[in-house]
């Protein structure tokens, strides 16, 4: 039972690809997408000891992370978009609340005017039922 031979170039390619995906904010295997060595190992699909045999690639990844301020550009963009969406949502909720209040007021006004119109029509109907007396002119 022998192990299959490891290919250093294949391992390096897997580590580089994993680092690129994490730095771009597009991880395939990482659950959090954080820029840590642990996530690099998870993303590469290699064992921890295998990854650490390529210490230069791990150090290169860490340098990129430090240069990127520990947050992938894509993740920062998502965070910015999320903040903007939350602010827009709050504004829209306030606008909706104001519109609902205005609509409720207008419904009450319409109901009141409808009652007044009905009363005016009733009064007009009763006014036509009143017999008018002839007016006498004094000569």
CA dist., res. 135 & res. 137, Å (int): 6
Q: What percent of the chain has pLDDT over 90?
A: 53
What pTM does this model have? 0.48
What b-and-e string marks burial along 5-25, b requiring 16 or more CB atoms within 10 Å of the CB? eeeeeebeebbeebbebbbeb
CA dist., res. 40 & res. 26, Å (int): 12
Report pLDDT digits (tens) over 34-56: 888 999 999 999 999 999 999 99
Domain residue spans in the chain? 8-71
Which parts of the chain sit beneath pLDDT 70?
1-6, 69-72, 130-132, 138-139
């Amino acid at each position: 039972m022998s192990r299959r031979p490891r290919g250093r170039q294949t391992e390096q390619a897997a580590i580089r690809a994993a680092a690129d995906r994490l730095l771009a904010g597009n991880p395939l295997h990482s659950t959090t997408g954080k820029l840590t060595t642990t996530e690099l190992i998870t993303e590469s699909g290699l064992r921890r000891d295998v990854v650490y045999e390529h210490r230069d690639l791990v150090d290169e990844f860490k340098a990129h992370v430090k240069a990127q301020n520990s947050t992938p550009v894509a993740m920062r963009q998502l965070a910015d978009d999320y903040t903007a969406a939350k602010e827009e949502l709050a504004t829209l909720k306030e606008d909706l609340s104001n519109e609902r209040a205005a609509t409720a007021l207008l419904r009450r006004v319409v109901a009141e005017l409808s009652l007044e119109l009905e009363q005016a029509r009733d009064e007009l109907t009763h006014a036509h039922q009143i017999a008018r007396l002839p007016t006498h002119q004094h000569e």
